[in-house]
Copies of this chain bind each other. A is one copy, B any other.
Amino acid sequence: MADLELIHQLLTSAQTKILLFVLDGLGGLAVEPGGPTELEAAETPNLDRLAAEGMVGLHQPVGPGITPGSGPGHIGLFGYDAIRYQIGRGVLEALGVDFELQRTDLAARGNFCTVDREGSITDRRAGRIPTELCAELCAVLRQIELPGVELFVEPVREHRFLLVLRGTELTEGLADTDPGHTGVPALEVTATDPAAEPTATLVRRFVAEARELLAGREPANMITLRGFAKRPDWPLFPETFGLRSVAVAQYPMYRGVAKLVGMDSADVGPTRDDLFQTVARVWPDYDFAFVHVKEPDKAGEDGDFQRKVKVIEEIDAYIPAIVDLRPDVILVTGDHSTPAALRSHSWHPVPFLLRAATCRRDDADRFGERWCRGGEGGLCRSDDLMPLALAHAGRLAKFGA
């Protein structure tokens, strides 16, 4: 679906509120044949009650068989077609370090790498240098000056950094310089679009100066750049859906994606108590809150089934605090599956529950993949969930007469 224009046309005013609670990487897999998934194994009396009072289903983030990254996973939950609305790699990198991209900035993901005396890459990740060294080297690269352009070089983690060029004449349309394998030099900076030639010239100069500044600093004696992108000019979430919207997320990437589509972002401390206290604090001022917890995904990525079960159980204990805010619509789900059995994101459909006064209740009285499978929500797309939430919030008028 994801017909944002249609949804926008159907908006009708209502004094209702929607809370989207994302447990990152929620979906899982059994570790033994016929056994439970992480969510099925977890004791979640509060989520179970919401499932019993509402409706459940499974959603597919991008499409059948497609494993989404964090960007597309959230873009889908926010109601956008994740294939049409793709976030450039450079922009994602900026979001991940809380860098406030301006509309005309050009961002790229950088890697420090190792080259031999002939200039061929011998290690695309420079031996995964410590983040502290990455920060030092970024400071070195900040010495570079380009005409008419302000430069930002920010460390990310290990060999990864963010490059941002700030100017008024910069364009997208530059090819990656990372060849994707070793034994060859970094690729030249080339414009894939003739209009990008002036920008390519600037970036070429940056790379040439970086090469000189890094010479002799093995293993980090060269850089590659990829995913050149500007902040996308998309329909904004608050306007599109008519919702004063706020993100409450402790990880930069997630509040970054929310800000990219125009949501406010709440200041939040580092603990779980901080997170839910912040939700309660900002709730009166908004119609829509996106609340994000990262731990289930991390446990899944670590391959730790039991820890994923445990963090889901711990998070369940905060559900009453959310219910106490009396959202008209509560939507609880994940942005994708991260089965501990696979130690990575996966393509498996993600369980969701939606609780509102207008739900047609299904048979599910627990929250988990096997109960969601037969639910009222069926097997839908991620971007179907926002229209559904709006409908249950009484915010969508009839289509046609």
Contact = CB atoms under 8 A, between A and B. Distances in A.
A202 interface: no
The winner among A349, A362, A378, A380 for most chain B CB atoms within 10 A is A378
A216 interface: no
Interface residues of A, number: 67
A207 to B, nearest CB: 22
The winner among A72, A347, A377, A399 for most chain B CB atoms within 10 A is A399
Given A63-B384, A68-B398, A347-B396, A376 B373 contact: yes
Given A3-B63, A30-B361, A34-B361, A400 B347 contact: no
Given A62-B399, A87-B400, A378 B376 contact: no
Contact of A378 (B87, B345, B362, B378): B378
Nearest to A380: B64
Given A63-B384, A391-B65, A86 B361 contact: no
A70 interface: yes
A370 B379 contact: no
Given A82-B400, A401-B69, A362 B373 contact: yes
A71 to B, nearest CB: 5
Interface string A347-383: 1110000000010111100000110011111111000
Nearest to A57: B379
A324 to B, nearest CB: 20
Contacts of A349: 360, 376, 378
A89 interface: yes
Contacts of A69: 398-401
B33 A400 contact: no
Contacts of A378: 58, 349, 378-379
Contacts of A30: 360-361
A163 interface: no
A317 interface: no
Contacts of A319: none
A67 interface: yes
A293 interface: no
B373 A373 contact: no
A66 interface: yes
A401 B92 contact: yes
Interface of A: 1, 3, 6-7, 10, 29-30, 33-34, 37, 53, 58, 62-72, 82-83, 86-87, 89, 92, 341-342, 344-349, 358, 360-363, 369-370, 373-380, 384-392, 396-401
Which are the 8 A-B pairs with shortest beta-carbon distances? A378-B379, A65-B387, A65-B391, A69-B400, A64-B384, A72-B400, A65-B388, A1-B63
Given A63-B387, A66-B387, A374-B374, 6 more contacts: A10-B66, A30-B361, A58-B378, A82-B399, A346-B358, A349-B376
